[in-house]
Amino acid sequence: MSRYSTLVCTVLSLVAVLTLAGPVLAQSATTTATFSGPVQLRGQLLSAGSYDFAIERDGRGVVVSDADHRVVATLRGIPITRSKRGDIITMRPSVAGAAPEVLALFPNGGTAGIEFINRAAQK
């Protein structure tokens, strides 16, 4: 194999690896939350189960994946803080029998988190 062919193969391999690794590199923190019943996530109903919440490096985007690693939602939010550690997820109570709504995510139950922006506010 010539040097040119080796270089081309190396460059193409590098491009392929970076393309596939891009979404992983763009995320800085992943937190898993398990729900015992259905919940709402900005108008989308999630069934009971475990979900991974991956916060993007900008601290404003969150990619939500199910247990099979399928992306179920991509959300925007605003950074928030609270005075002390607590639950990983904060919820709005259910109203009139509707599923409770996920309001905010606090990775590892810490004091810094992300509050999900209402869809109407995103436009």
pLDDT digits (tens, 9 = 90+) for 26-60: 445 789 999 999 999 988 999 999 999 998 888 88
Residue 84 burial (CB count, 10 A): 7
- Residues 65/74, Cβ–Cβ less than 8 Å: no
DSSP assignment, residue 67? T
User: pTM for this structure?
Assistant: 0.70
Question: How much of the chain is in helix, strand and coil states, percent to nearest 5?
Answer: 25, 45, 30
Tokens of 123: 């436009």
pLDDT, one tens digit per residue, over 66-96 is 999 999 999 999 999 999 999 999 998 888 8
- Residues 107/113, Cβ–Cβ less than 8 Å: yes
